[in-house]
Structure 1
């Protein structure tokens, strides 16, 4: 097992030129690393070196870079390593070649440790760490990189062992180190048990802070474990108290409750937080509302909305539209209208989507009088109905014996150039046919054909039935209309 070097680290190697001599252990690297081809502001010298490392066989790298005559500055070396994670064998040779000529910067060393770790080359990585200790450039940053590499590889025990040997390498483990390892573990799926086990072991020696609990609560949020989140939150309040600086932890905890269908509990905690001057910001309320909207929970969404607004937070237009849509979906048009009316008082002005959400609801529910009144409010505020809503409204008004309102919508659409007109046009013709208003029907159909509005075949079938009910004269009118339709 590769845990042995961590428990019993080998002797420090004598120089940086020998630190990375395990090329026979290099693995084929992942392909997802960024490269110099992805970067536009790369220095010319770094670009040349990156091209060599990407294209030249590792055994020929030293000859190729020597032929350039370059002696790259530390900044150039850092650029090259950062953009060459995909060719680690070549970078090892390049790094050793540079080390024979000049002292590496601490950042170059850290990048090298990260490159080796991300490519799962852990023995060479530890050789580099031992050389860094010899040169006095080891830091917490180095170990944070190692934590991440081991956890990404699924080797959580090695990551924890790395934490345990930090002090032997001259780096004192502190709460930042604890949080870095917790974060690395929690980034991986379904590893909360391992994270909590490590946390329980270290918290008596290194007191956790708000960030420690935020990381763990975000992990429980990701896993959706309400019970564990409640326990962790309770411990956090006891150990670190209430503070607005711990907002990330509060957000994660509240989101876990809401996602777990415990919105009542979340609202109770919000009241407590408000009393402690720890109420979350607009980002939390926006995310929480999205969850409740997905759950189609208008009751708790309204309660959350009221708390947000009364706390002085101003919802965005997107939030207003989402909330109005939720209320309409739950047949709560009264509160939907109240939200619409309140928007200007918060400096937010409705857009076409706002109006069309409500208009669609009124059409669907066959609310003839309200839909007609609302249509006039829409056009007064220069917020036209969508073509889909217009067609649906025209059909609804004909079905409910209000043809004049249907014609009003059609004439508005034509005048304002709302397009496409096809669905509304066919709705109008079908409505006129159903009411036997054939003179108007013929006039509108002629105009539509003249302006190349598409009349559907299904509509023509209904018109044929309507006209032929009028006898020979009606049949002649339809036949004339049919010829024009076919020729168009």
Structure 2
């Protein structure tokens, strides 16, 4: 759509009209066309100012249209409209939001191209982005540069420094030292300072120290946020102190601090690890009633706990709820359910979930691959032992198609199962594939196949197998 056909402008175009139209247009590309057409269609002398440029840069950055947003900066310069620090920081923050911290640094360093000198605000913005993205060495370098430039400390910059030290291994003591020195230097700690340190201590497993800081925080009149409560609850659950975590949870409700999804998930994890999956399931119902949508981690935590306690029907029910919410189980979650049914001897149900996983296009990743190799082999062997050779063979073929390694024990179970059933052709086929995969059949397996062939008077096939076996023994390196 060309700019001329997009809309009709009045004879007098004002900045407020352009802003109003850009804000009202949801489509970013059409908003950009409105911006351009304001100066292109009429020769009435209208020029964009800081407001319209700033609005367009903000819209573009929010939509991740970074090249266009940066183009606006250069267009401002060309049109002799001074580029301000705030407009550059808008793009910096947008890059930080999508984890492109190096691009944020590039914009920060590029301020000089617009005759701008970074202020405390700019340094703090880039410092915070780097700490959030765990570029701690670069972040601390920016902090030192800020100090060398004569930019004074502030509670905000010290809070970010403390966060960086809490994230960096072995430097939490330095964070605590800065925290203790802040009041004497005229920078009284705030709720964010306390919350950051409590989170850092919990990550390091220093729960008692975190609790002391939590009590000090409240004593000094700083109200803990839901994030601080959740960090402490998570830390307590990780250290198997679920009862105290539950007390904090009840305290939150008493003082009208609404728990979030992470609070519920942390508690559910602690309860499940303590063998209290039923109580964890009650928490799931509670959070849904409070209109908090459980996430994949929440569901996975509960399903793992239920499977570990053998409550498979409840685990499947939770899995169904998860899918109804539109969340897709991953290979790790399927693996837990399949293992649970296998442990209970319900191999047909375990095979059903393997089929469901395959049909759903869910594949094990590098982390879960070894576990799924073990699980698949276990299910095939279980199906053989439970006299369901057809299902076992189907799963075996599926494994070979998907590149999942077949263990020697699985080959042996299948061969014995089909030999016993009298299907010597299939037994011989599996034996052949076993040898091709580099597994050496033992005497019992050879006997199982050959006995069946002799019984059916298939002497030639038996002889060929025997010769193949002898040849294999002959060429195998001697110990």
Correspondent of 2:386 among 367, 387, 400: 367
> Are positions 1:386 and 2:406 aligned together?
yes
Residues 299, 203 of structure 1: CA spacing in aligned structure 2 closer, same or farther, 3 A cutoff?
farther
Asked whether the equivalents of residues 435 and 441 of structure 2 are also in contact (C-alpha less than 8 Å), the reply is no
Alpha-carbon distance in 1 for matches of 2:192, 2:393: 59
Give TM-score, length-normalised by structure 1. Answer: 0.55
Asked whether the equivalents of residues 449 and 485 of structure 1 are also in contact (C-alpha less than 8 Å), the reply is no
Aligned residue-pair number: 338
> Are positions 1:193 and 2:208 aligned together?
yes
Match for residue 46 of structure 1?
none
1:423 CA drift (Å): 3.6
Correspondent of 1:138 among 154, 157, 160: 154
1:227 CA drift (Å): 0.4
SS across alignment from 1:203:
helix
Runs of 5+ unmatched residues, structure 1: 1-74, 80-102, 120-127, 456-482
Residues 437, 422 of structure 1: CA spacing in aligned structure 2 closer, same or farther, 3 A cutoff?
farther
1:282 CA drift (Å): 1.0
Asked whether the equivalents of residues 390 and 409 of structure 1 are also in contact (C-alpha less than 8 Å), the reply is no
Asked whether the equivalents of residues 289 and 301 of structure 1 are also in contact (C-alpha less than 8 Å), the reply is yes
Match for residue 208 of structure 1?
224
- Alignment RMSD, CA only? 4.8
Match for residue 36 of structure 2?
none
Which stretch of structure 1 is more off in the superposition, 211-220 or 441-450? Answer: 441-450
1:349 CA drift (Å): 7.7
Which stretch of structure 1 is more off in the superposition, 377-386 or 254-263? Answer: 377-386
Which stretch of structure 1 is more off in the superposition, 258-267 or 344-353? Answer: 344-353
Match for residue 227 of structure 1?
243
Residues 110, 314 of structure 1: CA spacing in aligned structure 2 closer, same or farther, 3 A cutoff?
closer
Asked whether the equivalents of residues 127 and 160 of structure 2 are also in contact (C-alpha less than 8 Å), the reply is no
SS across alignment from 2:436:
coil
Counting only pairs closer than 5 Å after superposition, residues 257-272 of structure 1 correspond to structure 2 as: 257-272=271-286
Rg larger in structure: 1
Residues 222, 409 of structure 1: CA spacing in aligned structure 2 closer, same or farther, 3 A cutoff?
same
Residues 442, 293 of structure 1: CA spacing in aligned structure 2 closer, same or farther, 3 A cutoff?
farther
Match for residue 416 of structure 2?
395
Asked whether the equivalents of residues 257 and 265 of structure 1 are also in contact (C-alpha less than 8 Å), the reply is yes
**For 1:376-398, what per-residue CA distance to the aligned partner results, in whole angstroms no more than 9, with x for missing partners?**
46548974882521222212444
**For 1:239-294, what per-residue CA distance to the aligned partner results, in whole angstroms no more than 9, with x for missing partners?**
35446xx2222221111111111111100010111122213211333344455556
Asked whether the equivalents of residues 202 and 231 of structure 2 are also in contact (C-alpha less than 8 Å), the reply is yes
1:345 CA drift (Å): 7.2
Alpha-carbon distance in 1 for matches of 2:235, 2:192: 17
Asked whether the equivalents of residues 224 and 260 of structure 1 are also in contact (C-alpha less than 8 Å), the reply is yes
1:375 CA drift (Å): 1.4
SS across alignment from 1:261:
coil
Residues 130, 200 of structure 1: CA spacing in aligned structure 2 closer, same or farther, 3 A cutoff?
farther
Alpha-carbon distance in 1 for matches of 2:309, 2:435: 35
Alpha-carbon distance in 2 for matches of 1:346, 1:330: 24
> Are positions 1:184 and 2:197 aligned together?
no
Alpha-carbon distance in 2 for matches of 1:325, 1:356: 11
1:313 CA drift (Å): 2.2
Give TM-score, length-normalised by structure 2. Answer: 0.56
Correspondent of 1:430 among 422, 428, 447: 447
